[in-house]
Amino acid sequence: MTVTPSPTRTDRWRALRPWLGVAARLGLAAVWLIAGGTKVGDLAASGRAVNAYQVMPYDLATVIGAALPFVELALGLLLLVGLATRVGAGISAALLVVFIVGIASAWARGLAIDCGCFGSGGQLGAGETPSYLPEILRDLGFLVLAGFLLIWPRTPFSVDGWLAGDIVEDEDE
């Protein structure tokens, strides 16, 4: 009679990690596709949302606001198909840090704005209360997903894995 050793914690992690990567990649892709998709129809509103943070001149804020939905959509598509996942995760992480700092800055300066993360944005009306802490915590969660993909970018069902000639290897990248 042969005794099969039970899986170690490392074995379980190696089996689970690729699927956590798929979830992180698809989750972050969904975030970017929804965020970009809600803004792309009204680029002027996206510019006004960036301008509401009061950290740059109006003309620059409107250009950044108009470009941002396209960057978000591109990131979402790259992550969705798993192409250049580490690059997409790195850009995602950088954008999320900028968003977190921007929201914290608006909060610290007493601005009453909607972050504009998923459309509209801009100054809040009288009596409306900003929800900065939940927005920062949400973006920190997205940052964790991006960080996971920076460390372990290759996942099943991705172009990266297909181009590398494998589904997923047990190597640490």
Quickly list DSSP for the chain.
Answer: -PPPPPPPHHHHHHHHHHHHHHHHHHHHHHHHHHHHHHHTT-HHHHHHHHHTT-SS-HHHHHHHHHHHHHHHHHHHHHHHHTSSHHHHHHHHHHHHHHHHHHHHHHHHTT--EE--TTS--EEPPTT----HHHHHHHHHHHHHHHHHHHH----TT-HHHHHTTSS--SS--
Would you say residue 36 lies in a domain? yes
Range of the domain at 42: 17-163
Would you say residue 11 lies in a domain? no
Structural domains of the chain, count: 1
Query: CA–CA separation, 145 vs 157, rounded Å?
Result: 17
Q: 58-81 and 43-51 helices cross at what angle (nearest 10)? A: 120
Would you say residue 132 lies in a domain? yes
Would you say residue 87 lies in a domain? yes
Would you say residue 169 lies in a domain? no
Would you say residue 125 lies in a domain? yes
pLDDT, one tens digit for every residue, the chain (173 residues):
676 777 788 889 899 999 999 999 999 999 999 999 999 999 999 999 999 999 999 999 999 999 999 999 999 999 999 999 999 999 999 999 999 999 999 999 999 999 899 887 888 888 888 899 999 999 999 999 999 999 999 999 999 878 877 554 444 44
Would you say residue 90 lies in a domain? yes
Would you say residue 7 lies in a domain? no
